[in-house]
Structures are given as structure tokens and as C-alpha cells.
Structure 1
Amino acid sequence: MLGKAELLEAIAGKNRGLLANATDRQAILAAIARLEDHNPNPQPFQSTDLLNGNWRLLYTTSQELLNLDRFPFLKLGQIYQCIRVPEAQIYNIAEVYGVPYLEGLVSVAARFQVISAQRVEVKFERAILGLQRFIGYASPQDLIHQIESGKRFTAIDFDIVNREQQGWLDITYLDQDLRIGRGNQGSVFVLTKVMV
């Protein structure tokens, strides 16, 4: 699809948005909007086989995520969003790198509820921040399995009880390997499906 190739070309080399200047961002948002106009699955929750799985972030305008790269001596690694439709769970996992042997991890688990054809309401339930080696981090899939089994980690690991910690996400484009979402804070997310 031409629009998809145009978007992927526009975000190439932008390091998930960290290297995008104002002109780049404008061109990327225009390419996203054109692709959204041709969404092959306008009701993504009726295509749960496509939606379910592990997604790696290609591009975002979310300063909350991009600011993880702004700490001294730290660099943002891969960012994953893993969706478990049958359990109505979302796991966000950000890998952080820097000083050798001090690779970090920031993870948030949330429950979602479908509230329209494209929108889910997200309620954050748990956060984990720590060093990958102390957590025993091997992969997003392994971490999710440990979280689902009820394991508590040797890290900053806490339940989120503040009911203000919620938001929504619109899934505005979905195909076999690409997903676009727009969040309640005005952020845009472009992700690709991966096996991890």
C-alpha cells in the first residue's frame, strides 16, 4: 500500500521521534492521517486476531515516552506494547540502556475496556522500574508471564491505586503488521507487530 510505504519512509531514521524536527513531525502526521483514511479494519475489536499480540514502537509524539531518553547517561531502547485481548490487558515495556550492566526497564500494566468501535479506556494498575539484571528480564513475553503469575520483583514495583491514572486510546489504523493509535493526551503512536 502506497500510504503505508510513505509513512514508513517518513519515520525511517527518526529514532521513534527523538530525531524528528518540526518539519519532519508535520510530514509524518500528514502521512499518518492519509493512511488512517484507508484503515482496512475500522472496527479493530472485531479483528482481535490482528490486534492481539506484541507491538514494537516505531514512532511517537509522546513526550512522556521520549523523555526517558533525556536522562543523563541513559538511552531509550526498544519500547513494546503487548496487548492481550482475551484478558483485556495492556503491558507497556520500555528498555533503557546506559552504563554497562545497568540496563533498566520501565513497565506499566493496565486493564482496558472497549467503549466504542475504535476506543478503549485504559486504567493503569501496576508499575515496575528497575535494573534488567535484578528483575531477571529476558524478553517482554517472559516479563508478562512473570507479572501474570503474580511475581513481585526486586525493583520499584507498586500497584497504581490512584483512579486518576487512566486515559483512552483510539486505534485508528490496523493491518497485519502495522497499528496506529491516538491517545487522550494528543499523542500519536505507530507500532509494528513483532515476535518477542
Structure 2
Amino acid sequence: MIGKAALLQAIAGKNRGLLATASDQQAIGVAIAQLEGYNPTPRPIEASHLLDGDWRLLYTTSQELLGIDRVPLVKLGQIYQCIRTAEAKIYNIAEISGLPYLDGLVSVAAHFSPASERRVDVKFERAIIGLTRLIGYQSPDRFIQDIEAGRKFAAIDFNIGNRDRQGWLDITYLDEDMRIGRGNEGSVFVLTKG
């Protein structure tokens, strides 16, 4: 699809948005809007077979996520949003690297509920911040299995009160391997699966 190719070309080399200039952001925004106009899945919340899985972030305007890279001695690695539709759960996982033996992750687990045919309400429930070697982190899927099994980690691991962190996410484009979402704070997210 020409729209997907144009978007992928626009975000290439932008390091998930960290290297995007104001004019890059504008061009990427136009490419995103054009692709959203051709959304092949107009009711994405009902397409659990497409939504379910581990999604890797390609581009975002979220300063909260991109800000992780601005912490001294820390570099932002891969960022995943893993959706488990059967459990109505979302797991956000940001891998970080730093000094030798100080690779880590920042993760948030949330529960979601459908609000419309393309919007989910999100209630954040748990945060885990720690070193990958102490947590035993190998992959998003394995980490999520440990969380779902009730494992407590040798990390900063705490429950988030329901009223503290809530939001929503509109899924504005969804196909077999690409998803675009827009969050309640005005951020856009472009993700790929597989």
C-alpha cells in the first residue's frame, strides 16, 4: 500500500521520533493522517485477532516516552506495547541501556475496556522499573508471562492506584502488521507487529 510505504519512509531514520525535526513531524503527521483515511479495519476493537500480540514502536510524539532518552547515561532501546485481548490487558515495556551491566526496563501494566468501536479506556495498574539481569528479562512475552503468574521482581515494583493514571487510546489504523493510535494526551503512536 502506497500510504504505508510513504509513512515508513517518512519515519525512517527518526529513531522513534527522537531525531524528528519540526518539519519532519509535520510531514510524518500528514503521512499518518493520509494512512488513517484508508483504515482497512473501521471497527478495530472488534478485531481482536489483529489487535492481539506484541507491537514494537516505530514512531511517537509522546514526550513522556521520548523523555526517557534524556536521562543522563541512559539510551532508549526498543519500546513495546503488548496487547492481550483475552485478558483485556496492555503492557508497555521500554528497554533502556546505559553503563555496562546497567541495562534495564521501564514497564507499565494496564487494564483496558472498550469505550467505542475504536476507543479503549485504559487504567494503569502496575509499574516495574529495574535492571534486566535482576529481573531476568529476556523478551516481552516471557516477562508478561511472569507478570501474569503473579511474580514479584527484584525491582521497583508497585501498584498504581486506579485514580492516579487513567487515559484512553483511539486506534485509528489497524491491519495485519501496522497499528496507529492516538492517546488522550495528544500523542500519536505508530507500531508494527512481527
1:45 matched to which residue of 2?
A: 45
How far apart, CA to CA, are the structure 1 residues paired with 2:184 and 2:7?
Answer: 22
How far apart, CA to CA, are the structure 2 residues paired with 1:162 and 1:49?
Answer: 28
Question: In 1, are the aligned partners of 2:129 and 2:157 still within 8 Å (CA)?
Answer: yes
Equivalenced residues, count = 194
Structure 1 residue ranges without an equivalent (≥5): none
SS in structure 2 of the partner of residue 32 of structure 1: helix
How far apart, CA to CA, are the structure 2 residues paired with 1:179 and 1:161?
Answer: 28
How far apart, CA to CA, are the structure 1 residues paired with 2:74 and 2:161?
Answer: 29
Structure 2 residue ranges without an equivalent (≥5): none
- Percent of aligned pairs sharing the same letter: 69
Do structure 1's residue 182 and structure 2's residue 182 form an aligned pair? yes
SS in structure 1 of the partner of residue 176 of structure 2: coil
Letter in 2 for 1:96: I
Query: Greater shift after overlay, 180-189 or 156-165?
Result: 156-165
1:162, CA displacement in angstroms? 4.5
C-alpha offsets along residues 89-138 of structure 1, whole Å, 9 cap, x if unaligned?
A: 00000000011110010000000000101000000000000000000101
Question: In 1, are the aligned partners of 2:45 and 2:119 still within 8 Å (CA)?
Answer: no
How far apart, CA to CA, are the structure 1 residues paired with 2:46 and 2:118?
Answer: 10
C-alpha offsets along residues 27-52 of structure 1, whole Å, 9 cap, x if unaligned?
A: 00000000000000010122111110
1:188, CA displacement in angstroms? 0.1
SS in structure 1 of the partner of residue 96 of structure 2: strand
1:164, CA displacement in angstroms? 3.0
The 5 Å alignment of 1:138-177 reads 138-177=138-177
How far apart, CA to CA, are the structure 1 residues paired with 2:86 and 2:192?
Answer: 20
